[in-house]
Amino acid sequence: MRDGGLVVGGLTPFTTIDFPGRLAAVVFCQGCPWRCGYCHNPHLHSPRDGERPWGEVLGWLETRRGLLDGLVFSGGEPLLQRGLGAALGNVRARGFATALHTAGIYPERLAAALPLLDWVGFDIKGPFEDYRRITGAGGEAARQSLARLLAAGVDHEIRCTVDSDLLDADALARMARQLAALGVSRLVLQACRRAGQPASVPEPLLAAAAQHLARVETRAA
């Protein structure tokens, strides 16, 4: 449902992993213009009305005072929604920390949101020149967004979901070189959750990224 410009596609009431160091809930924002083949939230692609009003989420959040530290805006792509800035302000006004999961699709909107954020999980899809093959759109917006995030000094994590059908060792090496050139030192590689994919990031891919970055870690997506 649309409420105050924010379309909410779902709510996870408690997480210990989506906002490092904080106990949080996750709001899933409806809508994403990209079509990554491994996406595990395809039901959020359409920008149609979501499942609950944003005002209802805020009312529920009031009951979580003293129990939760923050709220994560995930998706979908939260930056698609023009009501995101106001929603971040709503949450901060209630004393909760804010986090954003984004692929950096809209650099200007990310820049506007950064002063209202305590942490950002930034999803890199691959080398910037490969974005069109992976997402259906070019990679320049992601490059600009990442540069703005790094310049802002907001606490963050850079991560990449590794689909071995889309990313090989050469692609991981090219991506890692690009990230290092922008000033990234730590990267988290997430194994793709899809039938036929390995349960962990293959060692050759991990090694390819580690050649260019000081810290490369792995986890399940």
- pLDDT tens, residue by residue, 206-216: 999 999 999 99
Euclidean distance between CA atoms 105 and 79, whole angstroms:
7
Secondary structure of residue 147 in the 3-state scheme: helix
Reduced DSSP (H G I as helix, E B as strand, rest coil) percent helix, strand, coil of the chain, to 5: 35, 25, 40
Q: Which fold, 2-123?
A: TIM Barrel (3.20.20)
Which whole number is the average pLDDT over 24-49? 82
Note the pLDDT of residue 159.
Answer: 97
User: pLDDT tens digits, residue range 75-126?
Assistant: 989 999 989 999 999 999 999 999 999 999 999 999 999 999 999 999 999 9
pLDDT tens-digit series, residues 183-198: 999 999 998 876 666 6
Check whether 4 has a pLDDT greater than 60. Answer: no
**Residue 143, CB-side half-sphere exposure with 13 Å CA sphere:** 16
Give the chain's mean pLDDT. 92
Helices 203-210 and 169-182, interaxial angle, to 10°?
A: 30
Q: Structural domain boundaries of the chain?
A: 2-123
Instruction: Supply the pLDDT for residue 199.
Output: 77
Q: Tell me, what amino acid is at 144?
A: Q
Identify the pLDDT of residue 45: 73
Query: Distance between CA 141 and CA 106 in Å, rounded?
Result: 6
DSSP 51-105: SB-HHHHHHHHHTTTTT--EEEEESS-GGG-TTHHHHHHHHHHTT-EEEEEE---
Contact 87, 43 (CB under 8 A): no
142 pLDDT higher than 70: yes
> What is the predicted pLDDT for the residue at 1?
46
Vertex 122: Cα angle to 15 and 198 (nearest 5): 75
pTM of the model: 0.93
Q: How confident is the model at residue 219 (pLDDT cuts 50, 70, 90)?
A: confident
Report DSSP letters for 116-141, one per residue.
Answer: G-SEEEEE--S-GGGHHHHHSS-SHH
Question: Using one digit for the tens of pLDDT, what is the confidence trace for 47-75?
Answer: 677 778 999 999 999 999 999 999 999 99
CA distance 180 to 177: 5
